[in-house]
Amino acid sequence: MKKIGFLLLVLVLIIQPVAAQVQQEDFKPEDMTTFTIQVPHGVEGNGLAVRNSTLSAYIFFESYYDGNMNVTVELDLPKGFVLHEPSANSFTLQTEYDDWYRLVDFYIPADTPFGVYNITAKAVVDVEGTKHTIVRTTQLKVASKEEVANAVSVSQLIVPSDEDGYGDPSHPSNTLVVQETSPALKKLLQVTDLKIEKKELTSTYMGIELTNTGNSTIHVIVTYDILDIKTGEPVKAFKPDIMGMKADTLCYATVTLSPGSSSLISLPIYISPDAMGGDYLLKVKVKLTGTDWIAVTKDQKITSISRRWGPIITTFAASLLGITALGFFFSRPRKIMDRFKTRNLVLIALFGTVSFAAISLPMTILWDLSHAIFGPFSFLFTGLFNEILLYMLIASLVVLIPKPGVISLFMMVRFLLGGFITGSFTPITFITLSINAIILEFLLYVAGVTGKNPAPDNRLKMGIICGFSDVISGYVSFSVWMVLYRLFYSNWYIAVNLLIDGFLYTFIGTWFGISLGNRLKKVVE
């Protein structure tokens, strides 16, 4: 037994070195490690720099070997480049997926000749006493400032934008919306528990499109200033201190531009409550990495405006008025309905059904079609149905039944038919129809068109009343869309729409509606 044990011991001593040798021979540096170098940091491939700049070379080493690995990494820079720290670093990786990285700073002197330079990183890997060498080389082009400035450009500025840099259609372009600064309104908001804190900041974004037309990868830093358009001084209200830090710390982006590429980025814009309305100059600055030199600037005039409270208050008041009218009707429905004869109710239901079949139903198809063809001026086409044809029916119905409440019942029929058949039970439909009915009822009654001694035959008076009523209803409709769907309409567009679609078309429809009503009146009688 002693002999057998001795033989086994000898066999183990022989096998161990052989196994270690086999393991070393199986170690393949390229397959079992990752060794990369980026110059400057973030650029994989040919980088670009200018003279008199300080750059960081990023070196990364990762092991896929399940065991100890001693590594020495050395950075070899071109002659004339100045390292800020030792060029060689030694470290030990102890297991699989263990890694090491380092940023190595170096300086490119102002007298460095223009040209392309090779930068080499060498890693000596020691595994179980056997050394392997891995070499990585990248190129850095030292170019003139003019060459860099000609290659980089700011193609487009989008203010405001979403977080991805694309335009925000809910706000006008080149416009920033600041918080309400009215002391009276602040006091009101505090009462309603919607107080504005002094330190609260609103923010939006700007989209910046950058283009690189050169042949090298360019790593840039993008930032901006908002300047007083008269003095040229930065306005701190648009880049306030945030949590004790300057906004410059947060309002910048680093971008790597490949040759012949464009990139869209976004930067936040912080707006303090102290910001004032007015015109400002937005200046976007593009710096090349490693230097404070500004390669490119792009200026754009922007406007700061306060929140538009008019549409908000209008929407709130219209909603309240519509709900009140609805509550009034349901509080005394029999009393209201008893004011009409059965034939009147049948006639109102008939007109409401005709308006739904001849206007609402076709418009569910023509609405999208007209928008696709006419774009923002589609109201010139849709107004033929929504205004001329509609007010022909309304005016003729008033001629036939000149009583207060007839228009409200007519609108109610339209709302119910539209809701049950097309599913348009929406807050916008309710608000616009109810406010249209309320205003029209009120103006017709005050003007003597309806009431005890009705006079619905005066085309001019009736046309002006209906046109004026539709202008108000149209403005309420725009306000509701702007508030509930956060849309933006230019003032000129609203004015043209209300003038043509709201007043002119309505006046024409009312004019012909009275003639139609008089003819129908003869038939009814």
How confident is the model over 489-505, as pLDDT tens digits? 778 889 999 999 999 99
How confident is the model over 383-429, as pLDDT tens digits? 888 889 999 999 999 999 999 999 999 999 988 988 888 777 888 88
Report strand pairing: 115-127 vs 99-108: unpaired
Supply the pLDDT for residue 19: 47
Q: b or e along 121-160 (b: 16 or more beta carbons within 10 Å of the residue's beta carbon)? A: bbbebebeeeebebebebebbbbeeeebbebbbbebbbbb
Under the banding of pLDDT at 50, 70 and 90, the label for residue 514 is very high
Whether the Cβ atoms of residue 62 and residue 99 lie closer than 8 Å to each other: yes
Distance CA 493, CA 376 (A): 9
Whether the Cβ atoms of residue 223 and residue 252 lie closer than 8 Å to each other: yes
φ/ψ of 99, rounded to 5, equals -140, 170
Please report which residue ranges of 164-261 form alpha helices under DSSP H.
183-191
How confident is the model over 452-466, as pLDDT tens digits? 788 888 889 999 999
How confident is the model over 246-301, as pLDDT tens digits? 766 778 899 999 999 999 999 988 888 777 878 899 999 999 988 889 999 999 99
Structure token digits, residue 264: 């869209």
Distance CA 25, CA 59 (A): 27
Flag whether pLDDT at 18 surpasses 50: no
0.75 cut: is pTM over it? no
Taking residues 46-74, report their average pLDDT: 91
Distance CA 442, CA 436 (A): 10
Under the banding of pLDDT at 50, 70 and 90, the label for residue 81 is very high
Supply the pLDDT for residue 468: 92
Distance CA 311, CA 162 (A): 23
Q: What is the location of CATH 2.60.40.10 in the chain?
A: 29-143, 148-306
Task: Give domain 148-306's CATH number out of 3.90.1150.10, 2.60.40.10, 3.30.70.100, 1.10.10.10.
Answer: 2.60.40.10
Report strand pairing: 152-161 vs 202-212: antiparallel
Give the closest residue to 177 by CA, choosing from 187, 185, 168, 190. Answer: 168
Distance CA 395, CA 458 (A): 11
Mean pLDDT lowest for which of 187-196, 363-372, 429-438? 187-196
How confident is the model over 338-349, as pLDDT tens digits? 888 888 899 999
Supply the pLDDT for residue 14: 53
Terminus-to-terminus CA distance in the chain, angstroms? Answer: 133
Q: What is the length of the chain?
A: 525
How confident is the model over 288-317, as pLDDT tens digits? 988 889 999 999 999 887 767 788 888 899
Average of per-residue pLDDT values in the chain:
85
Taking residues 4-17, report their average pLDDT: 53
Under the banding of pLDDT at 50, 70 and 90, the label for residue 362 is confident
Q: Which of 25-29, 381-385, 483-487 has the highest mean pLDDT?
A: 381-385
Supply the pLDDT for residue 72: 94
How confident is the model over 162-184, as pLDDT tens digits? 888 898 776 778 888 776 555 55
Share of the chain above pLDDT 70, in %: 88
Share of the chain above pLDDT 90, in %: 42
Supply the pLDDT for residue 36: 93
Distance CA 127, CA 519 (A): 106
Q: Give, in words, the CATH class of 29-143.
A: mainly beta
Supply the pLDDT for residue 2: 53
